[in-house]
Amino acid sequence: MWVAALLAVTLFGSAAVMLSPDRYAGKLAAAVSAVPALASVYMYYVFLTQNGGAGNALLSPGEVAFGQQIPWIDLAGYQIAYYVGLDGVSMPLLALTTILTTLAIVSAWTPIDERQSQFYGLMLFMETSLIGVFAALDFFLWFVFWEGVLIPMYFLIGVWGGPRRKYAAIKFFVYTNVASLVMFAGLFALVFNTDLTSLALPAMAEAFRNASGLPTIAGFSLATISFVLMFFGFAVKVPVFPLHTWLPDAHVEAPTPVSVMLAGVLLKMGTYALLRFNFTMLAETAQALAVPLAIVGVVSVIYGAMLALAQRDLKRIVAYSSISSMGYVILGLVAFTPHGMGGATFQMVAHGLISGLMFMTVGVIYNTTHTRMVGDMSGLADRMPWTVGIFVAAAFGYMGLPLMAGFAGEFLIFQGAFDAATLGSAAPVLTSLAMFGIVVVAGYLLWAMQRTLFGGFSLETDYEVGPAAFHDVAPLAVLLLLVIALGVAPDLSYDMIQHAITPLTGGGA
Amino acid sequence: MVHQLPSWAGLAPALALAVTALVLLLIDSVDPDTTNTSLLGGVSVVGSLASLAFAVWFIFGGTGIPTSEGGVGTPVLFNGQLVVDQMALFFMIIVASVTALVTLASTDYVREHAYQAEFYALVLLAATGMSVLSAANSLATAFVALELVSLPSYALVAFLKKNRGSVEAGLKYFLIGAVSSAVFAYGISLVYAATGVLRFDGIATAIESGTVQTIVDGTVQAQSGSPAVPMSILGVGIMMVIGGVAFKIAAVPFHFWAPEAYEGAPAPISAFLSSASKAAGFVLAFRTFAVAFPIGALVSSGEALNWFVVFQVLAIATMFIGNFAAATQEKVKRMMAYSSVGHAGYILIGLAALSASGDGMAFSMSAGMAHLLVYGFMNTGAFLFIALAEYWGVGRRFEDYNGLGRQAPLACAAMTIFLFSLAGLPIGGGFFSKFYLFSATLDVGAWSLAAALVINSALSLFYYSRVVKAMWIEEPTGDRSIESYPTGLYTAIVSAAVVTVLLVPGFDYVSSLAFRAVELL
């Protein structure tokens, strides 16, 4: 019931906001989105205290929290249901979604000044879909929400974006939709070669994990082919080198609150789906392909960081560094160790918070200075001390400063990947290479901060620069607190993540 | 004791449409100069809703389900020339729904025109033909019903007499239609020559037994002397029947009339033709090929036509040509016309995704039926939105729609739902019906069909989203002023959008009805 309530509140709230006058739309949307945010905090608390032992939702569906199942469609013998439930992986991501949406809506009050009711209505509609993506346990329901995210995102970039918004929106839309179809084809090739009668994710997991006698096409097992097709589909969303080209366009053109959602939650849809489908349902294939996948991850880490190093636009820097950070998640997942996969999941949450924070901070700076170019401004620290303070803290979080969430995620990934049996003798080499990415991150972030924040004040544009409004800085502070809280006490999330992850890795460290 | 209705009552959905058409003509003869749109349109809407109500009542009341399975049996009329089974009722629902939407929207669209009574009467007569075609169980009744669909359609396409495009489209439609009717009729004569019967079950018996049949007192029996069925003549006949059907559903290579007719016709008529008329063509195809030409017997006979391969080629060619042509258009209506061709390709999967023994027919054909029903709402809605744009005097090109979303947000939101649903995004029922088709192809391992479906779906999102982009994202150009918001058009568009969205949670009703209908054939 809880999940259904979250979905209903955001969906009907979205309709209400769309019909409301522009003047109240922002406040109303914030109030509406506060309901699922507070509710999910409460759910998180209940989960942590009472349900901490829940296992993996796909492998032991009886143990999910907040589960609900209602038959929906009988499609020529395939049962489709409204089936939702949360485990240690989806609970933190759900909370991340609801909290980040509320903060992104508040952060939109300043920059969004036209067609506001439509903007906030679409933000809430996107929240509905995102909640659904993380909570759904039926493939069909999941796919409805998965595709449902595209529609609001297309409009949010296309209507409220920057100068090249039309190109960016259509590129994002077609790129990710094609990826979804490829994934879909790969998955259903498997569905029709097993004796499934239900499209529930747990049933699929059981059938695929025990599938035998799959046909062979051109010398490759169908499991391998499907794995590759699905990986391709999800990798576009993550994004992984070389499928990342939509991301910088979308990020740069999207208005800041939308970039926050894009980096903070939408990219995690890709890694979440990889974990649920490729690494849970086709675990054996994933282990067999671990080395090439890890190489893809490490290349993303290094390549993304190098690209970030070459940018002048603050938003582009953060956008490319997201590619880098998502590469770590891939590396952690292929390790198939509790710390590797657990760290990867933790990194999804941590990066969601930190990249959201970074984008929001860049947005606040842009709202004030109307430029995002390193070199166009310097010495902002005097004029907007709170914002700059948070920017510095967030940047250090991104670099992996201990006691911040990013450190815990990356440390666990490296620890897990270093002695991963799946990677064999390549493990130390690949992990070390990935670690090198952190050095590059530190390089471009320190450089950007030094140029823009410190030194004597100068600004290319002729805008007055003063402290940002309270409602601009407050969301930043909330996010920073969450980043520090997860850094100081990673067990707030890591414990429940471990409960959901260990069944996958077969236990042991 | 349950009171049993007479069997002719089973045709009530078709009769309701026919009576409405006659009432309209009666009104016209009493008051020939009437332009009372509310009266004429109102009668048409009420008539088609009555037809819809009958069909819905019957389909859920168990008509067409054998009494042994808890139904009330199948009304059979005129020695089996017409049968009102679940499939007939399913298509009657599609026809009646589209007719109701189109006549409702027309109340605004033809308000300024003369000959309004004739307009509505022709629509209702064509709808009657489609409804009867749904129940036709013999090539003879099918041909008569098909002509009843076609002749009013030609006149309707050319209804805007002063518009050269409309008249030209009408003439083209008529010429190609006449040729394909002739081909169809010749095909029927060859099938009759080969099998000795016109009734679908009789043709099937002839093919299965290999001997020419005859009908005595309504029962099919072997002709005296048991002459063998000449399979090669039968094969040519089947091929020609395919040609006739392919014209009606606008499948490649008989699709050339479609973009012309849909673009030139008044937009509500384009909606009517591309949704209801297409559905009527498909019910003919489904019933003919599923009942009369059993694929298992044809393949095992080794000589006659292996028709599902023909449909596979047609389906793939239709999907690609329709969608690629749509992607290159500059006018919205023409884009929708080609997209309608592409959708015919998707629905043809219903006859293409079979195995040589006929396995998988219930799956694939019910998928095609489900897509037709969803398509009946989303495509009709999209064409009615174009009718609205024509009503406002908005131009025909994509750029002319720029910024329309700010002036008419409700209608544009509905149009967005139609287009995304047509593209297969899960905001409307189109997502599920496309998925159903996709599953049907994989169920029999028809990889090429599956690949064609996926590639074309992806492509279609590109060109549908051009309209969405124009409406919401582009800045308005020029000084366009919208002075009135026509009630009839708006009601029709919004109802179609609501149904399209409700078909997401309610798709189970559609898919299970369609599946049962095919199983009971």
Quote the mean pLDDT of chain A. 87
Predicted ipTM? 0.84
User: How many whole angstroms from its chain centre is CA A48?
Assistant: 22
Confidence class for position A227, pLDDT limits 50, 70, 90: very high
* Closest CA relative to residue A117, chosen from A34, A33, A32, A15: A15
A159 shares contact with chain B (CB less than 8 Å): yes
Pure H helices in A192-279: 201-209, 222-237, 246-253, 256-261, 267-273
Residue A499 included in any domain? yes
Out of A74, A170, A189, closest to residue B465 by CB: A170
Q: Are B388 and B411 in contact (CB under 8 A)?
A: yes
Q: To the nearest whole angstrom, how far is the Cα of B64 from the nearest Cα of chain A?
A: 20
Contacts of B25 (CB under 8 A, 6+ apart): B117, B121
Interhelix angle B37-61/B86-109, rounded to 10 degrees, is 160
A446 shares contact with chain B (CB less than 8 Å): no
Residues of B in contact with A115 (CB under 8 A): 406
* Closest CA relative to residue B338, chosen from B398, B400, B424, B252: B252
CB proximity under 8 Å: A 96-115 to B:
115
Residues of B in contact with A172 (CB under 8 A): none
* Closest CA relative to residue A500, chosen from A364, A346, A302, A317: A346
Indicate yes or no: CB of B469 within 8 angstroms of CB of A73.
no
A177 shares contact with chain B (CB less than 8 Å): yes
Residue A393 included in any domain? yes
Show the domain range for A418: 289-509
Q: pLDDT tens-digit profile of B360-406?
A: 788 889 999 999 999 999 999 999 999 999 888 888 888 888 888 88
Q: To the nearest whole angstrom, how far is the Cα of B376 from the nearest Cα of chain A?
A: 20
Contacts of B275 (CB under 8 A, 6+ apart): B94, B98, B375, B376, B379, B380, B383
Indicate yes or no: CB of B458 within 8 angstroms of CB of A181.
yes
Residue A133, pLDDT > 90, answer yes
Q: B323, B402, B439: best mutation site toward chain A, by most A Cβ within 10 Å?
A: B439
What are the residue boundaries of the structural domains of chain B, listed by start?
A: 306-521
Percentage of chain A with pLDDT > 90? Answer: 30
Q: pLDDT tens-digit profile of A6-57?
A: 999 999 999 999 888 888 888 899 999 999 999 999 999 988 888 666 788 8
Residues of B in contact with A150 (CB under 8 A): 425
Q: What is the mean pLDDT of residues A472-501?
A: 89
Residues of A in contact with B425 (CB under 8 A): 147-148, 150-151, 177
Classify strands B76-77 and A458-459 as parallel, antiparallel or unpaired: unpaired
A241 shares contact with chain B (CB less than 8 Å): no
| Chain B residue with the nearest C-alpha to that of A142 | B426
Phi, psi angles (nearest 5°) of residue A220: -105, 140
Tokens of B315: 């389906």
pLDDT in single tens digits along all 521 residues of chain B: 345 677 788 889 999 999 999 999 998 888 887 778 888 888 999 999 999 999 999 888 888 888 887 777 788 888 888 988 899 999 999 999 999 999 999 988 888 787 888 899 999 999 999 999 999 999 999 999 999 999 999 999 998 888 888 899 999 999 989 999 999 999 999 999 998 899 998 998 888 888 888 888 778 888 888 888 888 888 899 999 999 889 888 888 888 888 888 988 989 999 999 999 999 999 999 999 888 888 888 887 776 678 888 889 999 999 999 999 999 999 999 999 999 999 999 999 988 888 777 777 888 899 999 999 999 999 999 999 999 998 888 888 888 888 888 888 889 999 999 999 999 888 888 888 998 898 888 888 788 888 899 889 888 888 898 899 888 888 887 777 777 888 889 999 999 999 999 998 888 888 888 988 888 88
What is d(CA B26, CA B13) in angstroms, rounded to the nearest whole number?
A: 20
What is d(CA A107, CA B132) in angstroms, rounded to the nearest whole number?
A: 61
Indicate yes or no: CB of A174 within 8 angstroms of CB of B515.
no
Residue A509's pLDDT is what? 38
Indicate yes or no: CB of A188 within 8 angstroms of CB of B515.
no
Instruction: Look at A121-130, A185-194, A309-318, B344-353 and tell me which has the smallest mean pLDDT.
Output: A185-194
Q: pLDDT tens-digit profile of A153-188?
A: 999 998 898 888 888 888 888 888 889 888 988 888
The beta-strand segments (E) located in A3-77 are: 65-75
Number of domains in chain A: 1
Residue A162 included in any domain? no
Residue A76's pLDDT is what? 72
Residue A508, pLDDT > 60, answer no
Residue A53's pLDDT is what? 60
Residue B68's pLDDT is what? 81
Cβ contacts below 8 Å, chain A against chain B, sum to: 87
